[in-house]
Structure 1
Amino acid sequence: MNNLALSDKEFEQYRSMILEVAGISMSDAKKPLVSGRLAKRIRQHDLFSYGDYFRLLMRDRAELQMAVDLLTTNETYFFREPKHFGFLRERILPELVNRTTLRVWSGACSTGEEAYSIAMTVAEAVGNRPWELLASDLSTRVLDKARTGLYRMADAEDIPRSLLVKYCLKGVGEHSGTMLIDPTLRNRMRFQHINLNAALPELGEFEVIFLRNVMIYFDLETKRQVVRRMLPLLKPGGYFIVSHSESLNGVCDELQLVVPSIYRKPHA
């Protein structure tokens, strides 16, 4: 078992699988990531090679989901790329606040930090007016984590102090060193397993869609297909936000660039 090694042939199997399931295109440089993240599962199943584990995935859907979770989970943190939250607070929400129920979608929410950052920003801006937030991800494991709303206090360093005090409950006693997102905020949110690389379920329409730090893993055609699926769910005049390292140039010509990384769907 100490000689467990991922061969080039086995890596190609995993690379093809993750492209088909998640639309993620893995470069050769990702071979150590695949090897490292799956090694523990292989040992837990008393298997002797990455090939053995791949054959298990092909007949066990639950284990396939576990492997996809392990291979697609990426770093995230509260109020990442803060200019987006400033734009949401200062430009988007004042414009949309008097509409009927405001709906926002965090399309790749990971362990929930992005979704809760959006929720705090919206709640602070719209007050008692109705709003709701859908947070989705391909990984069921990170969604389970996100639903708890429980984080380490060390994770809170990028949350503005006023929002931290208002929307985060500090753990005491045996829960010291942790914080819990206020249940009244969590009650406005729904976490749902959604694969953006497949047909989307019925979700309704949204005024704002965040799709950040995920398209960098897609090839161009996959990017086009994902945006094409999501676009009908964005209301006319709605905003589509990608990360600062991403662009819809060459991906979609139906959205208008407002500022770098923020796009808008024209009014009909």
Structure 2
Amino acid sequence: MTVTTNHPKPITRSEFAEISELLLRRTGIRLTPGKESLVMGRLDKRLRQLGLTSYREYLDLLARPEEPEIHQAIDLLTTNETFFFREPRHFDYLREEVLPAHPPNRPFRLWSAASSSGEEAYTAAMVLAEALPNAPWEVVGTDVSARVVASAQRGLYPIAAAERIPMPLLRRYCRKGREEYTGLMAVAPELRSRVTFVRANLMNNLEGLGRFDVIFLRNVMIYFGPETKIALLERLEAMLQPGGHLIVSLSETLKGVTSRLQLVEPSVYQRPADV
């Protein structure tokens, strides 16, 4: 009797280094040594689907000019873990400190700059809908992964995702799925219509998105090296309205990174009003 196994294809040190360099060049994300098992776990199934026997063959494929598989590789290698009302202190700050001080004559714009599957953007939208019921506002979500952007646009989530949403907001802005959507919940159309999702790479110039009053960029810069962080912060600062806020994860800090953004409280930074 022959027993077949599905162990991930082994990756050599040089293959891992080339994949790491490719991801760094394309997204700014740095895969450090020790992440080999992560790469194998995420790419092994794709290699099997393509009928490839090694990561060297996969790298040769990715090296072809204008090869669309590069987008698939980025989708698989980028981390997309998030949930509703993650780090709730940030949404309290948005509601209690930022929104009351916002000029009433200007639409409020918020950017979820690594929106993944959309939970952060929709959470912010719930806060804005409650705080600004009669004022114009907009949420923009961007992510490098086309797959998660498409998922966010649908606004469909496992019913378990509702556990972190306060009950009044859940009742007002979410719908329980029925029939073929049993086990799912959907973001209400009136909220979804105020949130736009776009595939975008933070390494590119994104000034075409316009200026924002608040930018959320949480759990992203931990993957970037110092030079990438500095260049990214310069671009983000230019996209903030004077007096606008950049919010990073509670586990992150800009300490040691050159920037004109000023610390307001842990993980919350502000562009000076006169810059």
State whether TM-score is above 0.5.
yes
For residue 121 of structure 2, give the secondary structure of its aligned residue in structure 1.
helix
Q: Which amino acid is 2:58 matched to?
A: Y
Q: Which moved more, 1:91-100 or 1:118-127?
A: 91-100
Q: Secondary structure at the match of 2:201?
A: coil
Q: Is the 8 A contact 1:73 1:139 kept in 2?
A: no
SS at match of 1:28: coil
Secondary structure at the residue paired with 2:68?
helix
Q: Partners in 2 of 1:242 and 1:136 — Cα distance? A: 15
CA deviations 1:54-102 (Å, max 9, x no partner) are 1111225321001011101331111100100111111111111623111
Residue 230 of structure 2 is matched in structure 1 by 224
Matching residue of 1:187: 193
Separation of aligned partners in 2, 1:201 and 1:44: 38
2:214 maps to what in 1?
A: 208
Q: Give every structure 1 segment of 4 or more consecutive aligned residues whose post-TM-superposition deviation is greater than 6 Å.
A: none
Partner of 2:124: 118
Q: Does 1:93 align with 2:102?
A: no
After superposition, the C-alpha distances for 1:154-191 in whole angstroms (9 at most, x for unaligned) are 11111111111000011123322111001111111111
Output the CA distance in 2 between the equivalents of 1:70 and 1:201.
27
- What does residue 179 of structure 2 align with? 173
Partner Cα separation in structure 2 for residue 2 and residue 137 of structure 1: 31
Alpha-carbon distance in structure 2 between the residues aligned to 1:166 and 1:138: 30
Letter in 2 for 1:14: I
- Matched residue of 1:249: which SS? coil
Paired with 1:187 and 1:97, the residues of 2 have a C-alpha distance of 23
CA distance in structure 2 between the aligned counterparts of 1:8 and 1:218, rounded to whole angstroms: 21
Report deviation, 1:248: 1.3
Partner of 1:247: 253
Give, in whole Å, the separation in 1 of the partners of 2:202 and 2:258.
Answer: 16
**RMSD (CA atoms):** 1.4
Higher mean alpha-carbon deviation, 197-206 vs 137-146, is at: 197-206
- Whole-Å separation in 1 of the counterparts to 2:98 and 2:267: 14
Q: How does 1:1-268 map to 2 (within 5 A)?
A: 4-59=9-64, 61-96=67-102, 98-268=104-274
Please tell me whether the aligned partners of residues 207 and 239 of structure 2 are also in contact (alpha carbons under 8 angstroms): no
Within 1, Cα distance between the matches of 2:36 and 2:55?
Answer: 12
Question: Where does the alignment leave 5 or more consecutive residues of structure 2 unmatched?
Answer: none
For these two proteins, the number of residue pairs brought into alignment is 268
TM-score (norm 1): 0.96
State how far apart, in whole Å, the 2-side matches of 1:206 and 1:2 are.
47
Change (3 A) 1:201 1:91: closer
List gaps (5 residues or longer) in structure 1. Answer: none
